[in-house]
Amino acid sequence: LHPEHMARTVRELGAKVGLALDGDADRLIVCDEKGNIVNGDQIMAVCAKELLYQRKLRKKTLVATVMSNVGLELAMREIGGQLLRCQVGDRYVVEMLRAQGCNFGGEQSGHLVFLDHNTTGDGVLAALQLLAIMIRKNKPLSELAAIMTPLPQVLHNVRMAERIAPEHIPDFSEALKAAEAELGTSGRILVRPSGTEPVIRVMVEGEDAGLINTLALGLCDVILRAERR
């Protein structure tokens, strides 16, 4: 939850890399030798490129969720691969991996699934895979992670009195279409209700940080206006 402590220690010690696992060690977040946080999307880009280079990435395809940054999609396209998206949750990643005959995927949060080695997310396994790439390539993580440039992304959570689907909110569908038209092909908008609480998550990605924040706040305002009625 707080990799900044790890990153600070890496800078203080002059270490090559920092590894952070969650409580049950199924998620991994790392930092490079400069103390910059490297999230699950960037780790997937590094590992997918290496698997593709070794001709071990089945169907030249990486599986990620709808929450992964569009920069990961662009990075995969750049190296001759592709990205398939599924619902949020590592179990959906595994389901798609099996259904599509693929062998590697994960989540931005650091759930990484190397299906040739394990059937679920494993932070220690993911760390070993990443370290092995650093050793084989003899390159610092900052250089390896540069394969992916994350696009600006904003995420807002709007709490409701009760759970409701976004499409049932008055005027929201029209507002969403207008926002998507303004954003054009330079980004994407994802609106989804939380699966566990009365919250609607509004995520907008794009090249213009100011524009995506304005669009996200506008959509949130439509939701809040409906809530106040």
Quick: pLDDT tens for 159-188. 988 888 898 898 999 999 999 999 988 789
Residue 229 has pLDDT above 80, yes or no: no
Give the tens place of pLDDT for each residue, 181-211.
Answer: 999 887 899 998 987 889 999 999 998 999 9
Give the H/E segment covering residue 206: strand 199-206
Overall average pLDDT of the 148-154 stretch: 93
What's the CA gap between 215 and 36, in Å, rounded? Answer: 28
- In this structure, the number of other CB atoms found within 10 A of the CB of residue 75 comes to 25
Mind spelling out the 3-state secondary structure of 159-179?
A: ECCCCCCHHHCCCHHHHHHHH
pLDDT in tens, 58-114: 999 999 999 999 999 999 999 999 999 999 899 999 999 999 999 999 999 999 999
Separation in Å, CA 18 to CA 31, 39, 43, 183: 5, 12, 13, 36
Q: What is the pTM assigned to this prediction?
A: 0.85
